[in-house]
Amino acid sequence: MNPANSAYIYDDTETSTTPGGGLAPNSRFIICGDQNADNNEGDSTDPAIKQLIGGIATVGGATIPANPLVNSTFVPAGGAGPQPDDTAGFSGGVRVDYALPSIFGFDAPTGGVFWPGAGDPMSGAISASDHHMVFVNLTLNGVTLPPSTNLATYYAPASGLTGSALQTALHNIIDDHVIIDYGTIDEVMQIIDESASNAAHVRLLYSNATLPKTSNNISGGWNREHVWPRSDGVGDEGADYSDIHHLFPAKDSVNSLRSNFPFDVSSGSTTSDPFAPESTLDSNSWEPLDRDKGVVARALLYMMTRYDGSDALTTDLVLANATGPVGTHGVLSTLLTWHKAHPPTDYERSRNNAIYSGVSVNGIMRAQGNRNPFIDFPQFADGIYVSDTTQSFAKWQLQRLNITQLQNSAASGPNGDLDGDGRSNYFEFLFNGSPNSGSDEPLAVARTGNQITLSFYRPKGITEQARIESSTMLVGGTWSTVLNWQSSAIVTDFGDYERVDFTATIPAGDGGLFYRVVVE
């Protein structure tokens, strides 16, 4: 047992007013106890093990409730033995000896009293004691070993989704990760944040400088930066506290200067640390150097998705432009801009893989077993934050392409042509086309009598604008915008697209008239 933050395990030198010992948050443990083992030997207090079980011990006549950290619904029982205290009727139907697993991390479906067989050398010792051996059959839960780095399989539940459905799917994919002991985080960082230019140094968040790996937690050295501040919803107890996806080495003085300020573009008078002059603090926000803007944006997007308050000792973390109350960080619009302007780097991808698959620290594999989705697929940010009534190319990619296709950035990118129809993916996006069909037409034409109707789709919320032009000669310099075409067109809402139907009268005589749709 590694004494840490808890105070629900006592020994004979401790009392309820002076607790000590305990386990790190979200630890797996089994507590073994004897009914006649009091908190403080010699008093009449109910045994500590009964107090943990709850519902059978009393203080001042009031029943003590079950401890929420202990699987008190499981008490080994069953089987009659050679001594009177082996019966189910002893002490109100409760066994004399207990083995109680933690609620966290264990399922305990069965168990009982262990009776040695005839001739077993333990039989004599057990018969001479008022104690008996109990056992529980335990199954680990909450441990997801990475099956592979097949991203198509890993993210399959999120394929084709957007909005809150996408956020929920991603949360479920990355939830319940393996919790790495906070005391070993520095050693993990020394591996996954090793400087590319000096193997004896670590890369530092917010600074282009590096520091020796061995200078952690000393004055003038580096310490752990919580990108989502501990004072803004993370705390120091839950799974979020040691989640290495948002923990990075930082120079101690730079870490202190950043404090818990939200991220935004600095304005007005600014302050910086001599060790990191590229990162600045203004009156109400912190702006990291360009190299790390995308890094912090994706770390915060991960934290927002991973933590919804359902884990013990955690808070629902929210990203917003207004950074209050506690648990709300930002500035969201700035972070989304940085996320797009500074896409994932090889450093981030390598770090993401290492956190997922694990690194060896003193011969022990330390793997958190989950990934940062926004590093693997930056499009997920638009998928969550671009609304149902607005479109973007990244959101369109999620709607039209599967995870395997998205992994091929060249084929799925704006210049790719997955179906080989001669139209780029970005062209398909502009006209609500399918990148996989090869048969869709961006412009539909219908004629009724001397009238012709042009129909096309246009995405909502993008900077490019569509217009209809006409020409009589189909040569350059003869095309001109049709006057007042928008006022005479019928526009129908289709969520994140609009369908435009424009009807024109075919001129009489032999002269032809050609139309086209231009988007720029």
Please state the pTM of the whole predicted model: 0.73
Identify the pLDDT of residue 275.
Answer: 97
Quote the CA–CA distance of 386 and 333 in Å, as a whole number. 11
Mean pLDDT of the chain: 85
Quote the CA–CA distance of 390 and 382 in Å, as a whole number. 10
Per DSSP, the residues of 10-70 read: --TT-BTTB------TT---EEEEETT--SSTTS-PPPHHHHHH-SS-EETTEEPPPPTTB
Q: 341-371 burial string, b = 16+ CB within 10 Å, else e?
A: ebebeeebeebbbbbbbbbebeeeebbbbbb
Q: Name the stretches of the chain with pLDDT < 70.
A: 1-26, 33-61, 64, 66, 72-98, 108-110, 112-118, 125-133, 141-148, 510-511
The string of pLDDT tens digits covering residues 324-366 is 899 999 999 999 999 999 999 999 999 999 999 999 998 899 9
CB count within 10 Å of CB 418 equals: 19
Torsions phi, psi of 496, nearest 5? -90, 5
